[in-house]
Amino acid sequence: MFFKKIEKMYRDQIYTRSDDNGCVFYFSSDDFEGLNKIPYPFKSSKGHKLQGYFYYYDGYDTDRIVMFEHGMGSGHRGYMTEIELLARHGYLVFSYDHTGCMESEGETTGGFVHSLIDLNDAINTLRADDRYSDKRISIVGHSWGAYSTLNISNFQSGIEHLVALSGPISLMALLKQSFRGILAPIGRKLYKKELAGNPKYVPSDAITALSETGAKVLIIHSDDDGIVRCDQHFDVMQKSLSERGNVRFVKVHGKAHNPNYTPDSVRYKDEFFATYQKALKENALDSDEKKQSFKARFDWKRMTAQDDEIWNLIFEHLDS
């Protein structure tokens, strides 16, 4: 009975849709003068239509594509500030909503490993399209999207660059982080259930992938990340891959789960979510009017402000 309760909590958190509930502001291409957007939907191997877009400014590099992999709990528009920065640097950026997220089909996300399945499908689609088959591919991902970024080399070759922000090693490593001590058997049972559903992808781990890839890899993590713990993911990868000359590790301080944000934007985002959770408990967001008023209270540019120093490292890496 206890396991069933934990399993339900786990599935309620992971196996759900991520849609716009009206309480968070999402930037669009219209918020950035001159930023072009071209829709590019594609079918996943599971049969869902996934909605993607190419973003670019005039004069972009026509020889390559930089893919951006979004995190759990939103769609790609939750990362428009990052996508716009990449486009402004001169890249053709491709990003899409994962299964069960925002504009894409799917009753749920399909589980944690589904970001990896979707990324594999997206690359296969691009490589089968004559318009993009000859493009060099680089990938940048955050959190859930960094998991897929770190693991994609187990399924794809020829990726040029990988940039992972706050990425976990594997599903197993995340379950071990969440279910420790007397709860460890629950983590193992959940893993077996996940394995039965996606036996091709669930065993994938980043250390194996990065041990064999020829891609240039940049892994960035904050020492105080409470969602993907630095000591159980970043530190383990750094120790295991220390002799790999193509893998670079950068650890930052005090950025929690967003190492590419400014210290102020990290604090401001935390303040927003604390206020948001309080409003939900008080049923203060039970109408569209209240949601719009709540959303208008916050400075969304400040909340998504990016750390120039980190992005200079990312651009230096992608340009190498």
How long is the chain?
Answer: 320
Query: Hey, what long-range contacts does 275-278 have (CB within 8 A, 24 or more apart)?
Result: 276/23
23 inside domain: yes
93 inside domain: yes
275 inside domain: no
286 inside domain: no
pLDDT of 3 strictly over 90 = no
pTM for this model (two decimals): 0.97
b/e burial code for range 58-79 (CB count within 10 A of at least 16 → b): eebeeebbbbbbbbbebbbbbb
Percent of the chain beyond pLDDT 70? 100
283 inside domain: no
Mean pLDDT of the chain: 97
Q: What is the pLDDT of residues 129-152, one digit of tens each?
A: 999 999 999 999 999 999 999 999
What's the domain count of the chain?
1
pLDDT of 1 strictly over 80 = no
Element (H, E) at 218: strand 216-222
How far is it, in rounded angstroms, from Cα 284 to Cα 300?
20
Mean pLDDT, range 148-160, rounded to an integer? 98
pLDDT at 97: 98
252 inside domain: yes
Q: What is the DSSP string of 119-184?
A: HHHHHHHHHHSTTTTT-EEEEEEETHHHHHHHHGGGT-----EEEEES--S-HHHHHHHHS-GGGH
Mean pLDDT, range 53-58, rounded to an integer? 98
CB 217 within 8 A of CB 248: yes
C-alpha distances in Å from residue 103, one per residue of 17, 40, 98, 149, 203? 11, 12, 9, 21, 29
How far is it, in rounded angstroms, from Cα 296 to Cα 109?
29
Q: What is the pLDDT of residues 177-226, one digit of tens each?
A: 999 999 999 999 999 999 999 999 999 999 999 999 999 999 999 999 99
269 inside domain: no
CATH number of the domain at 99, please.
3.40.50.1820
- CA dihedral 15→18→23→26, nearest 10 degrees, is 150
198 inside domain: yes
pLDDT of 276 strictly over 80 = yes
Domain carrying residue 236: 2-261+304-319
pLDDT at 229: 98
Mean pLDDT, range 157-179, rounded to an integer? 98
**Confidence class of residue 4 from pLDDT cuts 50, 70 and 90?**
confident
Percent of the chain beyond pLDDT 90? 97
Mean pLDDT, range 249-260, rounded to an integer? 98
pLDDT of 48 strictly over 90 = yes
Handedness of CA 268, 270, 272, 278 (dihedral sign): negative
**Confidence class of residue 2 from pLDDT cuts 50, 70 and 90?**
confident
